[in-house]
Amino acid sequence: MKPLKPVIVVLLLAAMGASISAQAADAKRGRVYYRMVCSVCHMEKLDGPISPSAKTKAEWSSYLQADKHAKGKDTVKYYFSKEYRASIKARNQAAAKYAELPDAELMADVKMFLSAGAKDSDTPTSCD
Ligand code: HEC
């Protein structure tokens, strides 16, 4: 049995690490994705980017929950999807870098970034 022990320890540590990273959203990763994917398109198609401080934390939360993007023309989840990332990764570094990240994790990261810079946060963040 003795030689097995280190293997078990390594497996346990790996499992712990995986559960920790699944729980804690990564606002930095969210910022990179929001700026390089979401904002780049908003700058192209709208008059400018949409700042995190455009909405309160609760408004961002219900916006993402409602999942109606561009006045309901499509869904916001689509822009977090692996499918969308795959479609732009040849020309978008953030989409390429996070190509394999589960959709829900990426969305949680962006949500954390948006609420950290929301209108009613301690650090309202504008993109201008
Ligand atoms: C391919 C281009 C494109 C991408 C990528 C994109 N958006 Fe948009 N977004 C738009 C357009 C166009 C509108 C404005 C639609 C209108 O006003 O008719 C918009 C509007 C919005 C709005 C304003 C409210 C609304 O839905 O009209 C929010 C908030 C928003 N986008 C969030 C996001 C987030 C978050 C992402 C990234 C996960 C994202 N968008 C990615 C094109 C894009």
Ligand 1 center to residue 82 CA distance, Å?
A: 17
Residue among 29, 42, 55, 119 whose CB has most ligand 1 atoms within 8 A, to mutate: 42
Alpha-carbon distances, residue 110 vs 3, 9, 15, 34 (angstroms): 43, 33, 25, 6
What are the tens digits of pLDDT across the range 9-53? 666 656 665 555 445 899 999 999 999 999 999 999 998 999 999
pLDDT of residue 121: 98
Q: What is the CA radius of gyration of the chain?
A: 18
Report d(CA 117, CA 113) in Å as an integer: 7
The structure tokens listed for 60 are: 């961002």
Q: Whose CA is nearest to atom 24 of ligand 1?
A: 70
What are the tens digits of pLDDT across the range 66-99? 999 999 999 999 999 999 999 999 999 999 999 9
pLDDT at residue 4 greater than cutoff 60: yes
Ligand 1 center to residue 22 CA distance, Å?
A: 26
Residues 6+ apart with CB under 8 A from 89: 95, 96, 99
pLDDT of residue 30: 98
